[in-house]
Structure 1
Amino acid sequence: MQNTEHEKLSTARQPGRRSWARSPLLSVLALLLGLGTAQVASAAAIHAVGVENQYANVISQIGGKYVQVSAIESNPNTDPHNFEASPAVAREMVAARLVVRNGLGYDSWAKKILIADANPKRQVIVVQDLLHLPDSTRNPHLWYKPETMPAVAKAVAASLSALDPAHKAYFDANVQKFDASLQPWYAAIASFKAKYPHTPVAVTEPVADYMLQAAGCDIKTPWNLRAAIMNGTDPAPQDVSIQNQLFKSHLVKVLLYNQQVTNSLTASFLHNAKAAHIPVVSVYETMPTGYTYQSWMLAEVQALRAAVEHGQSTTALK
């Protein structure tokens, strides 16, 4: 679903996510109000922005030589929850003819920027809307859902075709190539689910939950604990106790650990899992350097399988 971000600004906090609005954004918005309508990108290529770098990667694969793509959140070594939009980011966003963002409160700062410089000619894809997900959806990490990126790729092709009708066949052909390139990931998920059904796992956050569910895993970590860590709030002591008991009693086969959001509590879970000789698999909210979306997702499933089959930890994707 494409839209032009004409929704009214809301100060309500998105359910299940920490508040993303920060005071520096106010100055960014003030700057934007003085920028006027975004200028059209060079005729040589369509200027596109993927707010999260995994979406930028898909735009690049579909648009090929006819797009110039920028990613805003692209550092896998930082906490994306703490991202603050700078004036340079604001200028990059409003200059784009196509923007893809996640939604579900994950990148609400981007929504505010686009509303502040509304441009009816700008194509905007909100993945939440594309998947018809309500605001109450608890897990915003939509790129781990196997159904997400085929829908994004198709929507990107449609938006690019609207901006550059002469190359519609090229964009559509790239969608077919992209869909075919996802098959190894799908096959790896299906193979794991068939060989290791209902594998019990622990997590620090619901980052990879959609993929784990598709692979038939049984996520033993209480939801309230996952949500508390995700939202930066204090978890209930009983939930922390349940998590630690999973390690102590060897009730899980693997811990999936969010490398980008760490604190003393998650570090204690990592320590306790290692002490119990439970393998650890690192997962990411931002696509690591050197990967495409497809190879990143496949690497995560392969790391999960190596943990279950061989007790092998993957503490960082290289």
Structure 2
Amino acid sequence: MKTILFNALGLFLIILIGYGLKRLNLLSKADGNTLSKIILNVTLPAAIVVNLASLTIQVSLFSLLFIALILNFFMIGIGAFFSKKSSVTEQEFMMYSVSGYNVGNFTLPFLQSFLPAAVPLLAMFDMGNSIMLAGGTTVTVDKIVGEKAPISLGGIVIKLLKSVPFSAYLLMLILRSSGTSLPQSLVEMLQVIANANTFLSMFMIGLYLELKLPKMSYSLVLKTLGLRYAFGLGLFGLFYLLPIPHDMKLVLCLLSVAPIPTFSVINSVKAGMSEEVVGITSSASFIIGLVFMTAGLLIIGI
């Protein structure tokens, strides 16, 4: 229990350091954008390769890919149902914000610091999650609000293949399915890069953290976060009670209360929602997610 709490506090301290340096004007949100590019294109792919280097392919792993798709569609539906009387912009914001799971920049580094053995399960879930974040969610949201979906199936595939983390997932899945192993010397070199992923991810969150919001927007933010985490806790309880393997139970429970993904933030802004509202909602979800995921570890155990 002490290990879990101290590790979680360590992650929170990194977030606070990033936020503190931004408040002191030593760094800015623009530096967070730079870190994001480094994480998505360097440290996260390295972490994926290292964690999946000895992956044993099991049929049960593929169920996580389909669970990710189902959960995304389910939460989009929840957002649509509870925002049907709102403006189109608020409907889209609600659907983007209550669905999707922040894996690469939060759940993976979080779980990596506690239970690296569960990362392969998380990776398979994220493949399904990435399909939705790369375009599946946008197409679904546009259909619900009556707009013409601008992204085709081919467009989604191309967008996925341009994603370095998804390509790393796909490459390792192909290699391990064929029984091919990477040279140990290469894995050890990548391990050095992968070790930086957790720190950089948490530090980036600190740089992005926003605590200012126009008063008129409080109700929308509270409703959005309330929906995401009310149903997230419900899913947590469901997965906790299901008779499934411990590591799968742990991964699904933690993902149920994970923060809002970056793609959802980008899509909400594109839909016309103000950056301030999107920023505070995303920032609050990081803090709430960290608290709930830590509590989840304490409840389930590692």
TM-score range, shorter chain: under 0.3
> Whose radius of gyration is greater, 1 or 2?
1
Structure (1 or 2) with the greater strand fraction: 1
TM norm structure 1 = 0.26
